[in-house]
Amino acid sequence: AVDAIRGEARERMLRALNAEINRLRALQKVNDHVRVEEIEAAEEQVVALATAIDDARLRLDAIRLVVGTKQMP
């Protein structure tokens, strides 16, 4: 279950950030104000987030206890 959650999170992150990186690269071809540092920062963010997702672990934050009582008619 945790591996599936990690995989989906990684996929969503890559889809979003790769789209941004591709957009910046395309924009850089027509606009010299797009700096290489901006693209490199986005690429570094992909690496950092991939590491964070890979290192994520499941943690139980709460438990719900339901107590039922038997009622007499």
pLDDT in tens, 15-66: 999 999 999 999 999 999 999 999 999 999 999 999 999 999 888 888 888 8
- Looking at residue 32, the DSSP 8-state letter turns out to be T
User: For position 57, what pLDDT does the model report?
Assistant: 87
User: What is the model's pTM?
Assistant: 0.73
- Rounded to an integer, the average pLDDT of 8-16 is 96
Which of the four pLDDT bands, split at 50, 70 and 90, describes residue 68? confident
Give residue 59's pLDDT: 85
10 vs 21: CA distance, rounded Å = 16
Contact present, 6 and 54 (Cβ < 8 Å): yes
